[in-house]
Structure 1
């Protein structure tokens, strides 16, 4: 049975602390999503799908897309969507990040924008003030910001960039201005790179060659990405550098839409269909096998969210008729959806990034 993708419960507890701090009704919020408070307190891991849904609801209730992230102000809902539309047709990652920088100069609420510096073999992305805000003000903001907020901000930029290019952005290092926390091992797991604390800046550093990578996403894949956001910005990005992992990234996590065919995937990877088939065969798989495995994994993850009915899951998986979903789920797992939710496998939690 597929393992449920999870995040540390500490992430959830911190987010809920912020909700309570801002005066929102915490009990009502958890009840709306069918989350038992004891599930957060007693478990060491929490479903990434449910965490994404929780985060999405909090941002909507707060009317602030920057909730729990570095911004210095309230960012209106819809801002991230418009930024994505502004950059999705950029030819390279470098152009996309520069356009992000320009977009943040004109959007309301934030005092902070991403800053890209390319120097020699490496490049760095850090936080910088928008032009109307004094540098000293943002520096003080970053120095006083909770370490969890900075970690979330850098992690989400890392994952967003990885999604744009269809493969994990392999980091050289991640730097933080804060002192080393007790849960420093979570930083290593999350960024999978050298981690340094007590630094003069908060930044991620990576090989500059990634900046020349093409943006492989398009309007269709963006639609699915936005439907499930911020889920893909939260979960661990796979460290796998194989062609299989790139194909998985291009398939995405929106299964309510028609998935791309092998011809479209091959085109985005700048290779012929025959080359795609040959290289996947060398990795002992095929495009159809990858697609089936992605659908199976998504179905199980959705099924592990009790607030979603089986019909809800069927719709999220793109099935017009629940009966068709029942047949497919049994083919994938050996159980019907109802049998799965009565089994010992239902709701099992595993470590961050497990696939």
Structure 2
């Protein structure tokens, strides 16, 4: 057995300065990208199942020349799009790597079974029972000790998953979903893998921060026991939103934001082209009253208008770094019918008018 330890590094949740925010959006760094290993593994799965793999890459705006190039990273949005396509075309959420078919919608149905449970413990018990019913009796097991809980995955046919794609996705799916359920990133104390350290092991400190053990008899994740008693904070509405973001959500940075604030931000961003949603519409989409929504946002130290302003501000900043977009059009694209009102709002957000802000950042224009 090989044991490897990684120091856990958590990113700060502090807001960036406006100039840093602009730089972050323009610089195509590693944030939002994934190892080439996953791209190549998905490509090979598609080919092995007689899919037109190169056509799928083109549809996802991925250069086929990137296949098999470990040094080249791929945008997580494009990778998740490719994974979704392969799942859908094969009609199998395991892409044939489990040895037993997982019909499309299985993961979401597990969500429907668990999202209404009062605590994480009960939600996990329901989710485990669901998967053990449709796969094998011991596909997932939960072992609760004095101070540590271990969720174990017993793959029915590990030999089919020779690049460990299904193994990794399964561990990520359970960890990310559990964290999302309680709106808190669950720290991993130990992760066990039933294979040797893979070539892309450098990616594991990002996906699975904590202590790693390889060449084990099973797959498992362990975390502090007290998280089991945490209340489930999600709803049927937020579940729908979460599942629409999968499998992208699985590749997101370990310390994700699972707050109601983040959920509302996702909804507003998705609707910004059509005009921002009202608080009543957002509350309805999340299956709660506007009063409940306002109370929960207050508990998180914010309010609906603040979230709306941040979404508008960030979108405006991004558009202002694009030379060809007229300021009057930008006003419309961020939900203002009056350009003068947009100018006043933008000055309140950043301290500068849109025109002056664009001039100040002319060297960063796309």
Is the contact made by 1:224 and 1:252 (CA closer than 8 Å) also made in structure 2? no
Is the contact made by 1:221 and 1:252 (CA closer than 8 Å) also made in structure 2? no
Partner of 1:54, secondary structure, is helix
- Cα gap change, 1:15 to 1:324, in 2 (>3 Å): same
Range that drifts further, 213-222 or 229-238 = 229-238
Equivalent residue number for residue 10 of structure 1: 37
Cα distance in 1 for partners of 2:207, 2:170 equals: 12
Is the contact made by 1:159 and 1:234 (CA closer than 8 Å) also made in structure 2? no
1:202 maps to 2:216: no
Structure with max Cα Rg:
2
Note the 1:204-283 alignment, pairs <5 A: 204-238=221-255, 246-251=259-264, 253-254=266-267, 255-256=270-271, 258-259=281-282, 264=292, 273=298, 275-277=299-301
- Cα gap change, 1:299 to 1:121, in 2 (>3 Å): farther
- Cα gap change, 1:149 to 1:276, in 2 (>3 Å): closer
2:99 to 69, 72, 95: 72
Equivalent residue number for residue 57 of structure 1: 85
Is the contact made by 1:253 and 1:298 (CA closer than 8 Å) also made in structure 2? no
Equivalent residue number for residue 20 of structure 1: 47
Cα distance in 2 for partners of 1:150, 1:93 equals: 22
- Cα gap change, 1:37 to 1:197, in 2 (>3 Å): same
Is the contact made by 1:159 and 1:233 (CA closer than 8 Å) also made in structure 2? yes
1:189 maps to 2:217: no
What TM-score do the two structures reach when normalised by structure 1?
0.69
Unpaired segments of 5 or more residues in structure 2? Answer: 1-21, 26-30, 272-276, 284-288, 319-324, 337-341, 356-362
Query: How far 1:246 moved relative to its partner?
Result: 3.4
Partner of 1:204, secondary structure, is strand
RMSD of the alignment, in Å? 3.8
Query: How far 1:287 moved relative to its partner?
Result: 6.3
- Cα gap change, 1:187 to 1:207, in 2 (>3 Å): same
Partner of 2:139, secondary structure, is strand
Cα distance in 1 for partners of 2:244, 2:85 equals: 13
Equivalent residue number for residue 120 of structure 1: 146
Equivalent residue number for residue 163 of structure 1: 180
Cα distance in 1 for partners of 2:314, 2:200 equals: 29
Query: How far 1:253 moved relative to its partner?
Result: 3.5
Is the contact made by 2:120 and 2:230 (CA closer than 8 Å) also made in structure 1? yes
Cα distance in 1 for partners of 2:259, 2:158 equals: 34
Partner of 1:123, secondary structure, is strand
- Cα gap change, 1:116 to 1:344, in 2 (>3 Å): farther
Cα distance in 2 for partners of 1:83, 1:207 equals: 23
Unpaired segments of 5 or more residues in structure 1? Answer: 130-137, 281-285, 302-309, 311-320, 336-342, 347-355
Cα distance in 1 for partners of 2:175, 2:128 equals: 15
Cα distance in 1 for partners of 2:64, 2:365 equals: 21
Query: How far 1:232 moved relative to its partner?
Result: 1.1
- Cα gap change, 1:220 to 1:25, in 2 (>3 Å): same
- Residue-pair matches, total: 294
Is the contact made by 1:125 and 1:205 (CA closer than 8 Å) also made in structure 2? yes
Partner of 2:254, secondary structure, is coil
Is the contact made by 1:175 and 1:204 (CA closer than 8 Å) also made in structure 2? yes
Return the structure number with greater relative CO, CA threshold 8 A, min gap 6.
1
Query: How far 1:222 moved relative to its partner?
Result: 1.2
